[in-house]
Structure 1
């Protein structure tokens, strides 16, 4: 443990190998057990029964095997992270989407996981000024998140939204939703890197949202100006900067300032390396963990 944080990994760090079948989740669990990581967060990218990460498509026996594997390896399954979209004006459709997320609350409970992150909107940016769109969507986002949080509270599970997807990636929008939901077990998955996707300074936005953090994601990005031409493999921020995933500590984020903000805060809990770079994912995960630990120790 470093600075009262329990450091580990998001399964998304291993997506390159999980998605191709080069590694299975039990193999990832064994790798984490042999590493210096202290927990594993599960990021479910599909509801299908053949998803490499447990989903609502799994039968109970398959879910139980994953929990048994993690228990046997001594790896804590810390958080279950899923996508969700509550931007709809159709009450019946919203109820269907809420019911799906509640099923993931049940799945988390069966896995022994006490934290669930669900998205609240699509990832794609809305062209132009999306403020009026956000204002219209806020009611359904808040209603759905509140109902899910209340359902999860009965099982002792904390829920959260992430600064994830351009529509709710800004720090103030995340906080506005948290305050509107107004449930003690509804918080934020605080990704220290994702703020650059909407051109915010992470060292500022992280400090603003740390009081509401359920879990912290450590990530890094290479950042190039709008008029650069870095070639393939980059994506653009809302304002047009070029971004590419990096090993934590190798990119352009001011991670020393972010580490100081975390260390100086009241946050005590899980922190997950979320590697999205081009390097081999096992190298990216292990080096990212070592760099995050050093950054926190030196903060």
Structure 2
């Protein structure tokens, strides 16, 4: 496995202007990380609104390519939001072309893994009927994108992310229905908590269809214990908040045992989203990851 970071881990300092993407490359090059994953939301002013210009700014792309080459930082994955249930055909067509445009960018940057959402993070289905009704559209769009990416030798993936397409079985079902060899999942070990699924079991179940892993940890508080502002309310009414990997309430050792026992041997990204200093969070997260893996082996 190759351990590195998502650019999302540095959003805290990128938002304030203390760091830009090129500073992140320098930091990663001096760290023990082996790769960097590019998340377009980290290039935006707001996490909930992707205003990045990767697909429309070839000079920026060329500068990123040059920076990766000069620092020796390997680019592993390109991560973008997408919504295949936007409401109008015009918006759907825009989404599809935007995803394809970013696949071209990934190819230009030499990136062979590409993650796209299929619905908005906050899209909350009203039940199984809503999910089943929406699924054919999501499947067809994901299949078209995967086939397009195959022409560039790129593997696409859906992340367990948000409120609708998050549960491990839903992710596996989508992959099965798309039925393209280059369509897999970006497996985020912590995101399963958003829909109150056990991360250990869910991780183990989805490793066989995984293209890249996101490592994160969460503090967890049950429904009756409202901890105050700044915590994410899960679908089941519990509360979670990002932490440094190894510092939170998730059973990271059992998760690492499942990963280590699997056939997965690809990229692993620390995706820090806590309130601690992000550089500390990224560094300690990687240190804890390597330490825990050594302890369980």
TM-score exceeds 0.5: yes
Task: Indicate the SS of the match to 1:123.
Answer: coil
What is aligned with 1:35?
A: 31
Q: Which runs of structure 2 are paired with 1:250-261 in the superposition (5 Å)?
A: 250-261=247-258
Residue 43 of structure 2 is aligned to residue 8 of structure 1: no
Judged with a 3 Å threshold, the aligned counterparts in structure 2 of structure 1 residues 146 and 18 are, in CA distance, closer, same or farther, namely same
Task: Indicate the SS of the match to 1:78.
Answer: strand
Residue 54 of structure 2 is aligned to residue 55 of structure 1: yes
What is aligned with 1:94?
A: 92
What is aligned with 1:212?
A: 209
CA contact (8 A) 1:226 1:242 kept: yes
User: Within 2, Cα distance between the matches of 1:46 and 1:32?
Assistant: 15
Structure 2: segments with no counterpart, 5+ residues: none
Q: Which of residues 140, 144, 149 is equivalent to 2:146?
A: 149
Aligned length: 292
Task: Indicate the SS of the match to 1:156.
Answer: coil
What is aligned with 2:218?
A: 221
- What CA deviation, in whole Å up to 9, does each residue of 1:112-138 have, x standing for no partner? 1111100001111526x4211111111
User: Within 2, Cα distance between the matches of 1:210 and 1:287?
Assistant: 24
Q: CA deviation at 1:97?
A: 1.4
CA contact (8 A) 1:216 1:272 kept: yes
Residue 122 of structure 2 is aligned to residue 115 of structure 1: no
- What CA deviation, in whole Å up to 9, does each residue of 1:129-163 have, x standing for no partner? 42111111111111111011011011010000000
Q: Which runs of structure 2 are paired with 1:179-258 in the superposition (5 Å)?
A: 179-258=176-255
Comparing 253-262 with 15-24, greater Cα deviation is found at: 15-24
- What CA deviation, in whole Å up to 9, does each residue of 1:263-282 have, x standing for no partner? 00000100000001110000
CA contact (8 A) 2:10 2:42 kept: no
Structure 1: segments with no counterpart, 5+ residues: none
Q: Which of residues 277, 290, 294 is equivalent to 1:280?
A: 277
Calculate the aligned-residue CA RMSD, in Å: 1.8
Q: So what's the TM-score if we normalise by structure 1? A: 0.94
Judged with a 3 Å threshold, the aligned counterparts in structure 2 of structure 1 residues 255 and 47 are, in CA distance, closer, same or farther, namely closer
User: Within 1, Cα distance between the matches of 2:253 and 2:53?
Assistant: 35
